[in-house]
Amino acid sequence: MYESFYGIIDPPRDYSDYNMTWAGTAGALVSTTQDLNTFYRALLGGDLLPRRQLDQMRTTVDVKDETGAVAMRYGLGIYTMDTPCGPAWGHDGGVFGAGTWALSSPDGRRQFAIGCNLMKYQRINESGTAFDPHPADAALRDYRDRSLCGTTAPRTPDPAGKDRSAGTPPVPVPVPAPSAEAAPAAPRALPPTMPALPGPLSGPVR
């Protein structure tokens, strides 16, 4: 588990042996991506909660990015976001050095779950206002889309009109709202806002 904090921690610090109780329940569970998929498959398939409670979880409010566009729709403990083949449900999370991201089709039949052991690997642009595109972010989004939509997932162009299905990085975008993690004191300046989401979601959210 390594933390780079956008290049401020260089080389990245090893957080493999670190007490995560500061994060409360956010860092309290050691599990696997298979367990995440099993959980969401049972949840969305109606095996865990009565239909009324599941419907309440899936009653959402819009979460907008800095341009006013809807980035995702947040429910009770889960959110939904658009993919090239329709909406997906799940959640993400991150602590120092580790992040997870899990999404499922609405019926739980197609799933995507991934764990990261290097966090905030992106780099700040020269003006200090946004983060440079990173190939890992494009690859993660492509892997997500192909997992949820199949190998014939529609190719979604980036804002510049280029095909991103081959893993080409997206164009730079302003960063989302501030993170709950406070930046350590450092002479290097950060952009005025920082990703509130872990590495896989710190680029443009489709």
Q: Quick one: pLDDT at residue 181?
A: 45
Angle at 113 between CA 134 and CA 5, to 5 degrees: 40
pLDDT of residue 39: 93
Classify 7 in phi/psi space as left (phi over 0), alpha (psi -120 to 50) or beta.
left
Beta strand pairing call for 79-83 and 86-95: antiparallel
Residue by residue, what is the 3-state secondary structure of 67-131? Answer: CCCEEEEECCCCEEEEECCEEEEEEEEEECCEEEEEEECCCCCCEEEEEECEECCCCECCCCCEE
pLDDT of residue 155: 54
* Chain segment 78-102, per-residue pLDDT in tens: 999 999 999 999 999 888 898 899 9
pLDDT of residue 171: 33
pTM (2 decimals)?
A: 0.71
pLDDT at 58 over 70: yes
**Model pLDDT for residues 139-157, shown as the tens digit of each residue:** 998 999 999 998 655 554 4
Q: What percent of the chain has pLDDT over 90?
A: 42
The answer on pLDDT for 192 being more than 80 is no
